[in-house]
Amino acid sequence: MRAYLYDNLDTDCREPHEQNPSVPVSVEELEASGVLYWKLKDENFEAQIDKICADRNYKNRDQITVSKEGLGELFDAKIKTFFAEHLHEDEEIRAILEGTGYFDIRDKQDRWVRIKVEAGDLIVLPAGIYHRFTLDTNNYLKAMRLFKEDPVWTPLNRPCDENPYRKAYLEAIEAN
Ligand code: KMT
Ligand code: NI
């Protein structure tokens, strides 16, 4: 995992979009936005994921392969939905099993922070944070999606500033 400020250029979102010079964003800065991160060791992701699930009470899981082959005729629509700025009323928990991609999150100053993820990265985006996802030019990512309870996938597109989860999120990070 590596995070940096997004350059906001209007070119293909699968490109890195890193500013020049780069402005890195640390794990601590991500934490201040409520984003949690674990690096899984190379072997046996499943056992390490099991432990985090037990510790944090994540009860359900499924797998998604974000690629043309994995999503078939849904690919274009899904990719578009993932990259529309949105929030969820629950945590978005992803363990990357194979491949690479980008999660973009809005920081406290409403700037886009790009988080490049690869196999072994486990990230948790808190409920209420504005974010989006894209593949990179490798066009392949396989992830395990973890849930506290039943999977709820509803993306609420920005603006939804009056949403109670949005408000609670802003309150929670205010002191950071
Ligand atoms: C979301 O809601 O943004 C996603 O599920 C992204 C795709 S999972 C790698
Ligand atoms: Ni999402």
| Ligand 1 centroid – CA 24 distance (Å) | 23
Report the C-alpha gap between 41 and 37 in whole angstroms.
13
Q: What percent of the chain has pLDDT over 70?
A: 100
The boundaries of the domain holding residue 127 are: 2-175
Alpha carbon 100 to its chain centroid, in Å, reads: 12
Confidence grade of residue 150 (pLDDT, cut at 50, 70, 90): confident
Report the C-alpha gap between 91 and 136 in whole angstroms.
23
Closest atom, ligand 1, to C-alpha of 141: 9
| Ligand 2 centroid – CA 131 distance (Å) | 6
Report the C-alpha gap between 105 and 131 in whole angstroms.
4
Residue 16: what pLDDT?
A: 98
CATH of the domain at 164: 2.60.120.10
Q: Is 93 in the pocket of ligand 1 (CB under 6 A)?
A: no
* CB neighbour class for 94 (10 Å; exposed up to 12, middle 13-18, buried from 19): buried
Report the C-alpha gap between 113 and 164 in whole angstroms.
23
pTM above threshold 0.85? yes
3-state secondary structure of 100: strand
pLDDT score of 3 more than 90: yes
Residue 152: what pLDDT?
A: 79
| Residue 94, beta-bridge partner list | 123, 145
Closest atom, ligand 1, to C-alpha of 153: 2
DSSP-derived secondary structure for 110-176: S-EEEEEEETTEEEEEPTT--EEEEE-TT--EEEEEEESSS-----EESP-TT-HHHHHHHHHHHT-
Residue 75: what pLDDT?
A: 98
Tally of domains within the chain: 1
Report the C-alpha gap between 99 and 85 in whole angstroms.
22
